[in-house]
Amino acid sequence: MIWINLSKPMSILQQLQAALGPEIVWTPEQAAQRKSSNWVNTTPLNCLALVLPQNTEDLATALKICHAAKQPVVPHGGLTNVVGSVVTQAHEVAISLERMNQVESVDALNHTAVVQAGVVLQDLQDYLKSHGLFFPLDLGAKGSCMIGGNIATNAGGLQALRYGVTRNLVLGLEAVLADGTVVSSLNSLAKNNAGYDLKQLFIGTEGTLGIITRAVLKLEDRPTSRNTAYLALDSFEAAIEMLNFAKKSFGNALTTFELFWQDYYQLMTSPDGPHRPPLPRDHAYYVLLETAGYSPTFDQELFQDSLEKALVSGLIADACPAQSQQEYEWFWRIREQVDYVFTVHQPVFIFDVSLPISKMEGYIEEIKRDLQKNWPEVKVFTFGHMGDGNLHVYVTCGENDATTRHRVEELVFEPLTKIGGSITAEHGVGLEKKAWLHLSRNPAELALMKTLKAALDPHGILNRGKVFD
Ligand SMILES: Cc1cc2nc3c(=O)[nH]c(=O)nc-3n(C[C@H](O)[C@H](O)[C@H](O)COP(=O)(O)OP(=O)(O)OC[C@H]3O[C@@H](n4cnc5c(N)ncnc54)[C@H](O)[C@@H]3O)c2cc1C
């Protein structure tokens, strides 16, 4: 029973609880029992209320109330975002989609699934196994991140080289607008040019234009063969040639081409580090290469033959294919356990820049040189999705004040403008990169973004202050 004093106007918490009940609407004290992030530096969740809708109608009710009161809200998925997109303040209402976690249907013939926004990516993959299918999005945070969050960030990940980014994997979706209007656009067709493609409004817009509740996803047949290897290379030119060689050799079967600079590989495989090195640690670059297909014998022979050719021709200096499931997991952990960097160095500024592959080597040399001029002891760890033109750069210079952060960001971001790069390939803008958005988007683009925001969310309640002010 909720007692309400009618002589005073109801607070937002009271209004939400009166409409949805205390099971769905938690108090700030209850919310504070939970974490504010599933990434490093976690603090308790600080908010005015935490809403846990069980269905689209609950969410629409909550948003109607918040819209009428001009109450800011922050959509929460798996909280694995690394750019401050889910930062919630004491005056904001957090809305977590975690209870909307059902795979509603799988259409094996048409290779589609309808899923709710709170489904954890790994749970979806596990669910689809029995259907012989999979959803071709894979990222290190798969055990926590949710489909709604993946869509709202247009996540890229480890297989974008073959399957594209999340935008390419969503056929339709349902979202609730700031005023509580439900827009159900659950298209399941590969081609549908009947008017505007409305789902694009919500993909990659970081919860600023609507809250995603359900989606129609494109599925693939589960591969029956997977071949994985570490390669060692002695120059960046060799890495580019190897990428092109792998594309020609494996065609559509090439899923992953992850490049590590020596600094990252050495850290992860140092004697005190978490992993043994699959290959000696003195090469300039390493590649984690993977193919997936449907003809196990043929695929394995092709993989081995191609690696042999690359070795004989001197394209690669060494290679180590995974021979077992254990080796496969060991290889991937070296790539995925990025938070190890934080256990050795603090603070770490992380970047996920996008740039032409041909410019990568010069760019990394330039930023290292400039960072060293400012902080002679600086360490830079570089790795990432080279095949997609996307690098992760981790910078640690021992200082963490706002001036240092700004200077590091300036040194990392500004050189991108002259080589046609972007300040973010996949993590998004959130709070952390909004001061630099003008480097990657021109005034007309920024103005159109603001026009869309004003049209869809006139009171600016959805993730206020994220992406831009
Ligand atoms: C170890 C690690 C590895 C990572 N690797 C990658 C990678 O390879 N590629 C990559 O792209 N990212 C990567 N990320 C970043 C992160 O996992 C992705 O951005 C992911 O898609 C976020 O999903 P989430 O459910 O955790 O979303 P959250 O962090 O909860 O939210 C992210 C954004 O989406 C909004 N949002 C969440 N749910 C909804 C919804 N239902 N409707 C509208 N808006 C919503 C939030 O408000 C926020 O703006 C990694 C993160 C970690 C910690």
- CATH number of the domain residue 370 falls in: 3.30.70.2740
Give the model's pLDDT for residue 41. Answer: 67
Query: What mean pLDDT do residues 419-431 have?
Result: 97
By alpha-carbon position, which residue is closest to atom 49 of ligand 1?
Answer: 206
By alpha-carbon position, which residue is closest to atom 9 of ligand 1?
Answer: 157
- List, for residues 94-114, the tens digit of each pLDDT value: 999 999 999 999 999 999 999
Residues within a 6 A CB radius of ligand 1: 39, 74-82, 85-86, 97, 117, 139-141, 145-146, 148-150, 152-153, 155-158, 206-207, 211-212, 338, 426-427, 463
**Residue 457, in any domain of the structure:** no
Show the domain range for 354.
340-452
Mutational test site, ligand 1, from 47, 80, 176, 255, max ligand atoms within 8 Å of CB: 80
Q: What string of DSSP letters covers 129-152?
A: HTTTEE-----TTTTT-BHHHHHH
Question: What is the 8-class DSSP label of residue 203?
Answer: T
Would you state the structure tokens that stand for residue 246, as one six-digit string? 């792998």
- List, for residues 247-276, the tens digit of each pLDDT value: 999 999 999 999 999 999 999 999 999 999
**Residue 208, in any domain of the structure:** yes
By alpha-carbon position, which residue is closest to atom 16 of ligand 1?
Answer: 81
Looking at the structure, tell me whether residues 385 and 401 fall in a common domain: yes
Looking at the structure, tell me whether residues 331 and 344 fall in a common domain: no
Question: What is the 8-class DSSP label of residue 343?
Answer: H
E strands, 201-299, are: 211-218, 220-221, 225-233, 254-261, 285-293
Q: Per-residue pLDDT for 357 more than 70?
A: yes
- Where on the phi/psi map is residue 419: left (φ > 0), alpha (ψ -120 to 50), or beta? alpha
Calculate how far, in angstroms, residue 81's C-alpha sits from the geometric centre of ligand 1.
Answer: 4
Q: State how many domains the chain has.
A: 4
Looking at the structure, tell me whether residues 209 and 317 fall in a common domain: no
Looking at the structure, tell me whether residues 266 and 233 fall in a common domain: yes
Calculate how far, in angstroms, residue 449's C-alpha sits from the geometric centre of ligand 1.
Answer: 21
Looking at the structure, tell me whether residues 204 and 286 fall in a common domain: no
Looking at the structure, tell me whether residues 143 and 249 fall in a common domain: no
Calculate how far, in angstroms, residue 235's C-alpha sits from the geometric centre of ligand 1.
Answer: 33
Looking at the structure, tell me whether residues 107 and 215 fall in a common domain: yes
Looking at the structure, tell me whether residues 230 and 214 fall in a common domain: no
Calculate how far, in angstroms, residue 342's C-alpha sits from the geometric centre of ligand 1.
Answer: 19
- List, for residues 270-312, the tens digit of each pLDDT value: 999 999 999 999 999 999 999 999 999 999 999 999 999 999 9
For residues 405-416, one letter each, b for 16 or more C-beta atoms within 10 angstroms of the residue's C-beta and e for the rest, the string is: bebbbebbbebb
**Residue 290, in any domain of the structure:** yes
**Residue 460, in any domain of the structure:** no
Q: By three-state DSSP, how is residue 329 classified?
A: helix
Would you state the structure tokens that stand for residue 43, as one six-digit string? 């603090």
**Residue 19, in any domain of the structure:** yes
Provide the CATH number for the domain around residue 80. 3.30.43.10
Calculate how far, in angstroms, residue 334's C-alpha sits from the geometric centre of ligand 1.
Answer: 21
Q: Which of 69, 96, 123 is the last residue of a domain?
A: 96
**Residue 379, in any domain of the structure:** yes
Looking at the structure, tell me whether residues 157 and 180 fall in a common domain: yes
Q: How far apart are CA 459 and CA 176, in angstroms?
A: 15
Q: How far apart are CA 427 and CA 116, in angstroms?
A: 22
**Residue 125, in any domain of the structure:** yes
Q: Which of 96, 120, 143 is the last residue of a domain?
A: 96
Looking at the structure, tell me whether residues 330 and 344 fall in a common domain: no
Question: In what side-by-side order are the strands of the sheet with 225-233?
Answer: 318-321, 225-233, 285-293, 254-261, 379-385, 390-396, 349-354
pTM, whole model, 2 decimals? 0.96
Largest interatomic CA distance in the chain: 85
**Residue 136, in any domain of the structure:** yes
Residue-averaged pLDDT of the chain: 96
Nearest CA to 402 out of 425, 440, 431, 376 is that of 431
- List, for residues 4-13, the tens digit of each pLDDT value: 555 678 999 9
Looking at the structure, tell me whether residues 273 and 306 fall in a common domain: yes
Give the model's pLDDT for residue 3. Answer: 56
Give the model's pLDDT for residue 118. Answer: 98
- List, for residues 23-60, the tens digit of each pLDDT value: 999 999 999 999 999 887 689 999 999 999 999 999 99
Beta strand 103-107 pairing with 93-96: unpaired
Q: Which of 169, 198, 221 is the last residue of a domain?
A: 221
Would you state the structure tokens that stand for residue 299, as one six-digit string? 């695929």
Provide the CATH number for the domain around residue 235. 3.30.70.2190
Looking at the structure, tell me whether residues 157 and 207 fall in a common domain: yes
CA angle 284, 404, 43 (to 5 degrees): 95
* Local confidence band at 2 (pLDDT 50, 70, 90 cut-offs): low
